[in-house]
Structure 1
Amino acid sequence: MNDKVILRIVTGISIFVFAVVLILQSKVITIFPPDAVVPSWVFFLPRLNAIINGICSLLLIISLFQIKNRNIRTHKVLNIITFVLSSLFLVSYIIFHATGIQTSYGGEGTIRYIYYFILITHIILAAIVLPLVLLSFYSGLQMNVKRHRRLVRWSFPVWLYVTITGVLVYLMISPYYTF
């Protein structure tokens, strides 16, 4: 495949994922009807998502150290594992939000502004990071080191920020869960 085809595929995937998340966040569509009983395992998904994000944060940092030590194979393996975990996170996130469960943040004062700053930057950067990661992966797997490095300058810190803030958002809102 040439670069134009890859760019179109990455763009399509990114737009599709963004649209699905946006629709679910707006509560236009839910998997479960409003009067349906949500299975108990669904209530564990926010915690699972935070665990996955935490593991991804650690793997990304370890991967950085591996590439700095020129351990390319370990770097690749760690990034593939991180990508798979992030994909599982996305599926879990979509399932949870498709239930229509809503939680409002209950903090007051300065912490409320901090929470919403973290949440909003997390959401915006989460939307941006998918195409960056996909293009970084493609370049890395093709051993196009020059392009990979240019992309990773942006994708790595954004991906790391999104995984870390995902954990922070969970820790800050979890006391307000009503389930």
Structure 2
Amino acid sequence: MNTSVEQKYNKWIITLSIAIPLVVALLFGVNLRKLGYDVQPLSFLPPIYATINGITAVVLVIAVMAIKNGKRKLHENLMKLAILLSVLFLGMYVAYHMTSNSTKFGGEGAIRYIYYFILITHISLSVIIIPFVLVTYVRALAERFDKHKKIAKITFPMWLYVAVTGVIVYLMISPYYV
């Protein structure tokens, strides 16, 4: 087993697991237009990054099916694609929020509680999933497939939930975009 590969990446996993949510939170609070920069709102991005979330969910499911059918290389490529899609989503999400005012959910009654439950669990798990994805990926790189499989059983449903609820949140709030 190759524990040196895991040890080599541990500092990166910790750094990225802390830095990504912090940077996103900081940039989320920065609105370039309010700071006086003449930038156009990137209002076309939400349906694109919601679609990317949907594609990520499909890629994750296909990747799991691939490994269950013994197609390791396909699984590996699909997982790399899922990570790339998540990074693209994150970049677009931050760019949108840096150039546009936040949209308020306008639903009332029970639907409002459902929306906020989904939103809060989506955001919470989107932070929690970062180290899980990184550790799962590094364990595969280290060819520690027994440990990779064990954590992947936790990572997969969380990541799938984040991807699917990202689409649901978009669909629920999209009528309220200005």
Per-residue CA distance 1:2-41 (angstroms, 9 max, x = gap): 433412111111211110122234x2x333444444425x
Number of corresponding residues: 175
Within 2, Cα distance between the matches of 1:139 and 1:5? 11
TM-score, scaled to structure 2: 0.92
2:13 maps to 1:15: no
Within 2, Cα distance between the matches of 1:108 and 1:51? 26
Within 1, Cα distance between the matches of 2:84 and 2:39? 26
Q: Alpha-carbon deviation of 1:99?
A: 2.0
Q: Which amino acid in the other structure matches residue 159 of structure 1? A: W
Paired residues for 1:91-102 under 5 Å: 91-102=91-102
Paired residues for 1:126-145 under 5 Å: 126-145=126-145
Q: 2:6·2:139 contact (CA, 8 Å) conserved in 1?
A: no
Q: Tell me the SS of whatever aligns to 1:113.
A: helix
Q: Which amino acid in the other structure matches residue 176 of structure 2? A: Y
Q: 2:6·2:138 contact (CA, 8 Å) conserved in 1?
A: no
With over 3 angstroms needed to count, the CA separation of the structure-2 counterparts of 1:175 and 1:37, relative to structure 1, is farther
Within 1, Cα distance between the matches of 2:73 and 2:137? 14
TM-score, scaled to structure 1: 0.91
Q: 2:5·2:142 contact (CA, 8 Å) conserved in 1?
A: no
Q: CA RMSD in A?
A: 1.5
Within 1, Cα distance between the matches of 2:125 and 2:87? 16
Per-residue CA distance 1:107-146 (angstroms, 9 max, x = gap): 0011000000000000000001111101111111222101
Per-residue CA distance 1:43-63 (angstroms, 9 max, x = gap): 111111101000000000111
Paired residues for 1:1-40 under 5 Å: 2-25=5-28, 27=29, 29-39=30-40
Within 2, Cα distance between the matches of 1:172 and 1:38? 27
- Give the aligned partner of residue 151 of structure 1: 151
- Give the aligned partner of residue 77 of structure 2: 77
Percent pairwise identity: 41
